[in-house]
Structures are given as C-alpha cells and as structure tokens.
Amino acid sequence: MRPIPSLSRGARATMALAVALAAASAVPAVAAAKAPPFLTSLPMQSVIGSTVPGNGDINPYGIAVVPRTTGHLVKGDVLISNFNASSNLQGTGTTIVQLSPKGAMSVFATVMASDVPMCPGGVGLTTALVVLKSGWVVVGSLPTTDGSSATAKAGCLIVLDRWGHVAETIQGSPINGPWDMTAWDGGDSALLFVSNVLNGTVAAGGSVVNGGTVARIALSDTDGKMPKVTSERVIGWGFAERTDPAALVIGPTGLALDSHANLYVADTVNNRIAVIPYAAARMSSSHMGTTVSAHHFLNQPLGLALAPNGDVLTVNAGDGNAVEVTPAGHQVAMRLLDSTGGGTLFGLAVAPGGHGLYFVDDGSNNLQLLH
C-alpha cells in the first residue's frame, strides 16, 4: 500500500460526515407504515438498448446512473462497463458505454492498457462502477490475458474525468481483484466501498478460500482537479471466493449502502446477503459481516441495489430471478427477469425517482428496465 498522507481539510470533512452517518446507524429507522415490496410495484419489463459498442465488447457488468450533467455525462443516462472484448474472453473488456433512457447509445470511454501503466495486468472492466456528483467516474479492472482465471491479475480502480479520459489509478493493497463497488458521495469528498475477490483465489485452483475482502477508500477534493486518496482500510474480510471456468471468479459481489451507513454485501458463494454495520467510519474489520438473509429465493446473489423503501434488491447467478430482502432479513418478493436460466444477470441500479430498476442481461447484451 502506498504511504497515506496527512489528512487534508477535505479528508477531515469526509471522515466527519462519515462519523455522522455511522452515528445515525446506531438508531434504527422505524417507518410509520412499511411500504409494499418494490418489485411488486413494477409490472412491466422493457429493453432499453444494446450495450455493444463499435469495437464489439460484450458481457455488460456494472451499472451507474449519472447524477448530474457535466462534460459528456448526461443526468439520468446510464453508464455500463463491459467485461469481455469481442473475442468473448473474460477480463479483456475496455469500454464504458452510455445509454439514454430512450436507448441512444454512445461510448463514454475506451480504456487501453497503455492508459493505465500502473494497473497490474491492464484492463478488464468489472461490475465496480460509480459516478460521483462532481463528474469523476471510477471503474474497477480485473484483467486477464486469455480469459482464464490462471492469468487474472490484481488490477486496480481507474479514475476517469467527465470527458471519459483516464486521470489516475488506485492500485496496490487493499485493491486485489476489484469486483463491485458502491459509494457515499459528499460532493467534495467521497467514500468508495470495494469488494475484492483475488486474495488467494487463483493459487487455490478452484477450491474455496475465505479471503474475500471489502475495502473502504476515502477520497478528498473530488470537486477539484484530481481526487486524492486520504485513507484505505479493509472493513470486511473472510468472504468465500473461488475461481470458476464459466464465471472466471465467484466471490463477494454486490454492495449497497443505506442512509444509516450499513453496507450490504452479496456473499455469492455462501448464498446469502450480509451486512457490515458502521461501514463509513468503523476502524475494525468485520469477519464476513452479519447474515441478513440466506438461501430460500437467494441463488448465488450478485448485484445489489437499495430500493426506495429501504429493502435490498439482488439478482441471482443461479437462475434468472430478482429477489427483494428487507433489512430484517425477510425475503418478500421474487421476480423472474430472464427465463433462459442462470448466469445472465449482474449489475443493478434504481432508476431516478425510484421509477424502476435498471439491470443488464449479459446473455442478450442489453440494458433493461423493470418499471
């Protein structure tokens, strides 16, 4: 890990706000009347558009809704990262595409290995994708040279400006196979939460190892010329992970942060949703988090999103279903999204205003909306 500089004023503000979030989480919110399941309020399913750019990249993984118009970013558009190149080799995708709600598609960024010389292994864009209010875009890279787990490298987080140009990379411990990501965004500062799936995974040769982690990375000056990393800390560890010939690697995937600084984690191998409390400011690392819900409708949960009613939404790798889980652990709804079977669903994002649920289908290589 590179040396951590003294905290700037922006970094201190970030951590002060994080502490406030964590303090709020000590008092559970009590709703006057529980809203009905979010999934049951969305009767229609529509294809928004193709996620395949001109270079033929496929296998869409990450989703992020643009919060503000700036540069090439348009408020309400959806950014999507592609994990595979046109060769269909996993861990070789280099593009982030941008789709409007009506399906107009453009390429926001194409990231080549030469753009990220400090990123171990090069470029293979994962589900780890966030767009900050200030216009900075952060995407994870877990690259391979031939699409196999044997050649998977640690990768990095790639920071792009509002025009889609690479500005910097964040690499080294604790970043090791960044697989998914969410963020708390304070405007001039941010906290990134990143799941990592390569801690001993490749060496185990397909056996399960309990080395998966969740790291918190604090950024300051996100409204300035360049975000600065002010602290890095592993806040979750011991999550099961293993290589897989079809999925490259299976490990802790989806992340969702609620307004009380509780971080939900999709523990894919163990077929459960876990939570890491006080995620914004905790100084200790939680062993596998605390189980919120497991098994039943859950079938290798992947992407996560937080519904407007506070429930946790996920999609299964083992079938084509979306599942809704309350913070108390009750699985209150299941919805079939893809009847072709498992392995096609990954990233999730709630549409602006809570008016639907965006998801990618990497079997048909498109963006869809449940509404």
371 residues of the chain, pLDDT tens digit each: 333 334 445 445 555 555 555 554 444 444 446 789 999 999 999 999 999 999 999 999 999 999 999 999 999 999 999 999 999 999 999 999 999 999 999 999 999 999 999 999 999 999 999 999 999 999 999 999 999 999 999 999 999 999 999 999 999 999 999 999 999 999 999 999 999 999 999 999 999 999 999 999 999 988 988 999 999 999 999 999 999 988 899 999 999 999 999 999 999 999 999 999 999 999 999 999 999 999 999 999 999 999 999 999 999 999 999 999 999 999 999 999 998 878 899 999 999 999 999 999 999 999 999 99
What is the value of pTM for the model shown?
0.92
**What tokens appear for 224 in the block?**
């300035």
Judge contact between 94 and 115, C-beta under 8 A. Answer: no
Q: Say which residues have a Cβ less than 8 Å from residue 224's Cβ, sequence separation at least 6.
A: 188
Judge contact between 359 and 350, C-beta under 8 A. Answer: no
The whole-number pLDDT of residue 225 equals 85
Residue with tokens 């509404």: 371
- Please calculate the CA angle 353-354-356 and round it to the nearest 5 degrees: 120
> Terminus-to-terminus CA distance in the chain, angstroms?
43
Residue with tokens 């990233």: 347
DSSP label at 68? S
Cα–Cα distance measured from residue 136 to residue 166, given in angstroms and rounded to the nearest whole number? 10
The arrangement of strands across the sheet holding 45-50 comes to: 45-50, 366-370, 357-361, 345-350
Residues 308-340 as b/e (b if ≥16 CB within 10 A, e otherwise) read ebbbbbbbbbebbbbbbbbbeeebbbbbebbee
| Sign of the torsion angle spanned by Cα atoms 101, 106, 112, 118 | negative
In order of 64, 71, 213, 368, the CA distances from 197 in angstroms are 21, 33, 7, 27
Q: Say which residues have a Cβ less than 8 Å from residue 3's Cβ, sequence separation at least 6.
A: none
The whole-number pLDDT of residue 17 equals 55
DSSP label at 173? T
CATH of domain 10-22+39-370: 2.120.10.30
**What tokens appear for 252 in the block?**
């802790």
Peptide bond into 174 cis (omega under 30): yes
In order of 14, 233, 236, 263, the CA distances from 278 in angstroms are 15, 13, 11, 8
Q: Say which residues have a Cβ less than 8 Å from residue 286's Cβ, sequence separation at least 6.
A: 235, 236, 237, 276, 277
Cα–Cα distance measured from residue 360 to residue 60, given in angstroms and rounded to the nearest whole number? 6
Cα–Cα distance measured from residue 175 to residue 233, given in angstroms and rounded to the nearest whole number? 10
Cα–Cα distance measured from residue 241 to residue 72, given in angstroms and rounded to the nearest whole number? 37
**What tokens appear for 21 in the block?**
């979030």
The string of DSSP codes covering 26-48 is: TS----SSPPPPSGGG---EEEE
Cα–Cα distance measured from residue 118 to residue 175, given in angstroms and rounded to the nearest whole number? 13
Judge contact between 227 and 160, C-beta under 8 A. Answer: no
